[in-house]
Amino acid sequence: MSEKMREAAGGEKNGRPLSELLKNGNTIMMLLIIAALLILSIAIPRFMSVGNIFNLLVQASVIGLPAIGLTFIIITAGIDLSLPTNMACSAILGCLIMQKTQNVVLGVLSILFFAVLFGCINGFSVAVLKMVPMIVTLAIQTLNTGISNFCTQGTSIGGLPESFSRIFAGSIGGVVPVSVLVFLVVAVIMHQVLAKTIFGRQLFQTGINERAARVNGINTTKILFCIYVIGGVMAGINGVLTAARLNSAGPTMGPASAFNNIVCACVLGGASVWGGKGSILGTVFGSIVMAIITNVMNLLNVDFFATYVVKGLVIIVVCYLDVLRNRVKEN
């Protein structure tokens, strides 16, 4: 028996395969998604229709874009509760400008500007003022909600140029929705940033031990500021795509409850709320899983409130899996 085979045999007795399995979360997620698709295609025939699959991917992009931003933040053991409301508020302010000017370019840039502005406020508060992320982002969430309702009086902003929806809510070749393509392109770019750049390496070091990272010469203040700005950028992109798909913008397009799906996608994908761990590929898989849950509930006409029960249970399971992963890491 070779040395590697003996190590493998010994590892089975010591529970090593389970450890390796838990560490290789992306593989597990991919296998689970494939298994779920096969089972659901048999149980619900219309689930695998082309239209429903692309609808599922659109739902995944709505969850996945802010989840990509949150992944960067969670790696530092931070949090941004304001992502959904940032998206809604920025879309409302940008669409108000678009409605008055009928200028799509100005409207889109305005949505991105306001989203980044809120991200900068979060980043400055956490990185420079050393405020607690949960508290400051909760405050921005409340601010966003107040601005959204004040500007709209609880209604939606319509009267947007037709070209806005045609460009950002259309499809490539009449098949692939623009939002799905944007999501995939953004995911690839942010994966490269996180996995292949100095910034990404410094981000992980900051998440593992911020004090040690600072001693090693890493500008942790800049790192912390940048990740909240990245979160703002993701919220802005999501705001543009969502407003285009709805052809309007209103307070209900970014409810605070949407944060549950976002954080679940991150943690399901391997990001740890304790910091120092996460990947964009995992977050993409996590977003698809959360979209599958929502999609199946809709296809089965499950009561809306029952969906919350299911997602609540998913959150509990996900948190426990995070605990297990950290135990494996410590051992």
pLDDT averaged over consecutive 10-residue blocks of the chain (331 residues)? 39 47 64 82 83 90 95 95 95 96 96 97 96 96 95 89 92 87 96 95 94 93 97 97 94 84 88 87 92 86 79 78 68 60
CB 84 within 8 A of CB 255: yes
Nearest CA among 40, 17, 24 for reference residue 298: 40
CA distance 283 to 183: 12
CA distance 162 to 306: 37
Relative orientation angle of helices 220-246 and 198-208, to the nearest 10 degrees: 110
Contacts of residue 18, Cβ cutoff 8 Å, sequence gap at least 6: 328
CB 228 within 8 A of CB 118: no
Nearest CA among 236, 246, 251 for reference residue 158: 246
Query: Token pair for residue 12?
Result: 């089975």
pTM over 0.75: yes
CA distance 45 to 40: 8
Determine the distance from the C-alpha atom of residue 37 to the mean position of all C-alpha atoms in its chain, rounded to a whole number. 22
**158 secondary structure, DSSP code:** -
**Residue owning tokens 């902003």:** 157
The whole-number pLDDT of residue 5 equals 36
The highest-level CATH class for domain 21-330 is mainly alpha
The whole-number pLDDT of residue 214 equals 93
The whole-number pLDDT of residue 3 equals 43
The whole-number pLDDT of residue 313 equals 83
Relative orientation angle of helices 220-246 and 178-196, to the nearest 10 degrees: 170
Contacts of residue 141, Cβ cutoff 8 Å, sequence gap at least 6: 81, 82, 85, 86, 256
The whole-number pLDDT of residue 61 equals 94
The whole-number pLDDT of residue 14 equals 46
Contacts of residue 174, Cβ cutoff 8 Å, sequence gap at least 6: none
